[in-house]
A and B are shown apart, each in its own frame.
Chain A
Amino acid sequence: MTRETELQHHIQMKVGDVGRYVLLPGDPGRCEKIAAYFDDPKHIIQNREYNTYTGTLLGEKVSVVSTGIGCPSTAIAVEELIAIGADTFIRIGTSGGIQPEIRTGDVAVVNSAIRDEGTTLHYMPIEFPAIADLDVVLAMREGAKKLGIPYHVGPTQSKDSFFGEIEPDRMPVDSRLNQRWKAWTAGGTICSEMEASTIFVLSSIHRKRAGGVMLMASISEKPPETPEEFADFKSRFDISRPIQVAIEGLKTLIQQDIQNC
C-alpha cells in the first residue's frame, strides 16, 4: 500500500479526501453547519471524534474536520491531515472572553497561544512560542472588518483542564491556577480554549499555516436574567459569526494563493 492510498489511522482518510484548506472545530456536531457554507459539501467519513466534510470555495477544495476536545486529539488530527496534503488550518469554535472590554459575541482573531497544556512538550521545549501565521491572521482580521463583526486580535490560553478554568477553587492546585490566570489576563490574553497551541506548534514544525477565529462569551459581563436579556445574549453568542469570518478569511487566502502561483 502506498502513501497515496493509505488510510490514516484515526481520521480514516487518504490523499484526496480533504483540501489543502481545513477548518478545525472541536465539536463533530458542528461540522455539518460549517460545511453548509461550502459549495457542494459532501460528508466524507466520521471515525471517533473526527468528522469530515469536503466541498469547495472559489473552486478550491476545502474541508472541515473536527478535532475533539483538547490538544491530544487535536495533534492526531493535524498530523494525519498534514500527511494527506492539508497545509492551511483555521481553528474555529467558542471560548471565554477574558479582557474587560470584550463583549459576548465579539470574535477573537487568535495570533498566538499560551502553551498551558501537555501535548506540545512532546514536540518542542516550552520556551518555543505557539504562533499563528501572519497572513492567516491578517486575512481573518480583514474578514471580521468586512463583515462588521467586532473583533480582538491577541493570544488565547490553550489549556488541558476545562474545569480548572471554570471552577479553579475546587482544584487542589487552586492558588497556582488563580495566580496564573491573573498573569494571563495581565499579559493581554483575549480568550481561553483548548486546542490552538497544538495547531500552531505543529504547523511551525511542518512549515504549514495556521490561525484561529473564536466566538467569545465575556467572563465579566453580567449573566442574562430577564427573557429580553436571554434573547439578546442568544442573538450575540451566535456560532455563525466566527464561521462567517473564517469563510471570508479563507476566501482571501485562496485568492492570494491563486495570485501568487
Chain B
Amino acid sequence: MVKSHHLAIEPGDIGRFVILPGDPGRCKVIASHFNNPEKVAENREYVTYTGSILNEPVSVSSTGIGNPSAAIAIEELRAVGADTFIRVGTSGGMQPHQIPGDLAIITGSIRDEGISKHYLPIEFPAVANSDVVIALREAAEKLGYNTHLGISHSKDSYFGQMAPERMPVVNFLKERWKAWVQGGAICAEMESAILLTLGAIYRLRVGSITLIAINQDKPELGVSTDTAPVIKTAIEAIKLLIQLDHNNEKERINDKRN
C-alpha cells in the first residue's frame, strides 16, 4: 500500500484514537504519555507518533495551523483507520471571566473559515461528539482544572483576530466578534470547525480542548503557555473512552446472549 500523500502513513501505522495538536513540535511531548511511543512518519507540518494507552494503539498527529491543513490530516488519518480524535491546542479566551491557564472544552464551532463550505453548506452546525465532550469534562474535573464548556470561534485569520484594526475589513471583523461574544463563544482558535464538520460527514467521534493562553479582551491578565493540563486532560479522556468502548462491547455481547 502506498503511503498517504501528505502525512505519509499507511494502515497499521496508527491507532483508532488520535490526538491532534496544531504544532508538530508538540507531538513528541504528547507521545511521551503513551507506552512505547515511536515516531512513524514526518512530512511537511505532519509529525506522527504511535504508542499505546491501556493496551490500545493510540497516535498523535500534528495538523499544522488552520482548517485547510487540519482537513488533510483528518482525511488521511481516517482513511487508514482512525475514528476517534481529540484536538489539543491553544486559544484566546472570549468571555470576561476566563483566565489564562483555564481550559476550554469545545462543544461546537463557529464556521468562520473557508474550507468546511467545500464539504457542507454553511447552515450545518459543527458539533463535537457528546461522548468525547463528556470524557473531556470528566477528565478535567478529575484532574481539578478550571474548565469552560462551550462554542469556539474557528477562524482562518490569526491577525484578523489579534489585530483587526489593521485589516481593511476592520468594521466587519469587529461587528462579528461582538456577535460571537454575545452568543457565548468561549475561545478563538483555528482548527476545530473542520475537524467537527468532517466528524459529522464520516461519522467519527471528534472533540477538542484548548488552553486559554490569553483573554482576548483582557490582555492585562497576561499569557499562559503551559500546555501540560490540556495534554493530561486529553490523555485521561482517551482512557475514559477506551473504557467506555470496552463496557459498550461487553453490553453488546450480553445483549446477544440474553
Contacts and interface: CB of A to CB of B under 8 A. Distances in A.
Contact of A205 (B111, B123, B183, B197): B183
Contacts of B130: 111, 134, 137-138, 141, 153
A152 interface: no
A114 B125 contact: yes
Given A116-B123, A129-B111, A153-B130, A134 B151 contact: no
Nearest to A130: B125
Interface stretch (A17-25, A35-43, A182-190, A250-258): A182-190
A114 to B, nearest CB: 5
A142 B108 CA distance: 21
A125 B179 contact: yes
Given A138-B134, A186-B201, A187-B200, A129 B127 contact: yes
A142 B197 CA distance: 25
Contacts of A134: 107, 130, 133-134, 137, 149
A155 B137 CA distance: 21
A120 to B, nearest CB: 9
B96 interface: no
A155 B201 contact: no
B109 A129 contact: yes
Sorting the interface of chain B by its residue count into under 10, 10 to 19, 20 to 34 or 35 or more gives 20 to 34
A126 interface: yes
A160 to B, nearest CB: 11
A184 B119 CA distance: 11
A114 B111 contact: no
Q: Could you tell me the dominant secondary structure of chain A's interface residues?
A: mixed
Interface residues of A, number: 31
B162 to A, nearest CB: 19
A131 B123 contact: no
B121 A111 contact: no
Interface string B108-131: 111110000000111111110010
A184 B124 contact: yes
A204 B122 contact: no
A225 interface: no
B203 A129 contact: no
Contacts of A124: 179, 183
Nearest to B176: A125
A76 to B, nearest CB: 19
Nearest to B111: A127
A157 to B, nearest CB: 9
A235 B116 CA distance: 41
Given A188-B201, A204-B151, A131 B124 contact: no
A180 B120 CA distance: 8
A125 B176 CA distance: 7
B28 to A, nearest CB: 33
A124 B176 CA distance: 9
Contacts of A137: 130
Interface in A215-249: none
A94 interface: no
Given A112-B127, A134-B130, A188-B201, A207 B110 contact: no
Given A131-B127, A131-B151, A207-B184, A126 B122 contact: yes
Contacts of B254: none
A61 interface: no
B180 interface: yes
A62 B120 CA distance: 38
Given A113-B125, A188-B201, 13 more contacts: A112-B108, A116-B123, A124-B183, A127-B111, A128-B110, A129-B111, A129-B151, A134-B107, A155-B200, A187-B197, A187-B200, A188-B203, A205-B183
Interface of B: 107-112, 120-127, 130, 133-134, 137, 149, 151, 176, 179-180, 182-185, 197, 200-201, 203
- 4 tightest A-B CB contacts, nearest first: A129-B125, A112-B125, A129-B108, A131-B108
